Amino acid sequence: MFRDLTCRFPGCSHPAEKCDYDHTVPWPQGRTQASDLKAYCRHHHLLKTFWGGPRGWNDVQHPDGTIEFTSPSGRRYTTTPLGASFFPRLATPTGDHQPRGAPPPDSPAKTWAMPRRRRSRAADKAARIAHERAINRARTDADPPPF
Ligand SMILES: [Zn+2]
């Protein structure tokens, strides 16, 4: 978090403290250490996870935290960790950056896709409010206020 300070996607300034941490080399082949992790806001984490591969966004992370992105159109972008520009020691490699073994083969049954909502955000909010009101009603019915 202190190394990155913001989401590492090109042009994004979402604060790192509110970001997800993404393994550049997917776990378990990738290690959970700073040299293989980077901050992505939820939007860019989903973008990287579900729109990667040969026709999507790809990234390569160097041990010092520098990330090189390739867009679906082939453009290349490089981001450097903002915190390391203030404190260069934060860009020190944290360990072996090589993947542990070969990734497991993709199963033909692999059906990863962008998660879909079962109901709209408005319906979620209405259900949450109705649930809270039911709890409050049960509480006040059981122990009415003294006035
Ligand atoms: Zn972002």
**How does DSSP classify residue 59?**
E
The 10s digit of each residue's pLDDT in 109-130 is: 666 677 788 899 999 999 999 9
**How does DSSP classify residue 6?**
B
Query: How far is the centre of ligand 1, averaged over its atoms, from the C-alpha of 138 (Å)?
Result: 42
The 10s digit of each residue's pLDDT in 51-96 is: 888 889 999 988 888 999 999 999 999 999 888 788 877 777 777 6
DSSP H helices in 1-147: 42-50, 82-86, 121-142
Look up residue 91 and give its two tokens. Answer: 């860009």
Query: How far is the centre of ligand 1, averaged over its atoms, from the C-alpha of 47 (Å)?
Result: 9
Query: How far is the centre of ligand 1, averaged over its atoms, from the C-alpha of 46 (Å)?
Result: 10
Query: How far is the centre of ligand 1, averaged over its atoms, from the C-alpha of 44 (Å)?
Result: 5
User: Which residues neighbour ligand 1 (ion) by CB within 5 Å?
Assistant: 7, 9, 12, 14, 41, 44
Decide if pLDDT at 15 tops 70. yes
Query: How far is the centre of ligand 1, averaged over its atoms, from the C-alpha of 125 (Å)?
Result: 25
Query: How far is the centre of ligand 1, averaged over its atoms, from the C-alpha of 145 (Å)?
Result: 48
pTM of full prediction above 0.75: no
CB atoms within 10 A of CB 23: 16
Q: Are 39 and 51 in contact (CB under 8 A)?
A: no
CB atoms within 10 A of CB 57: 19
Decide if pLDDT at 137 tops 70. yes
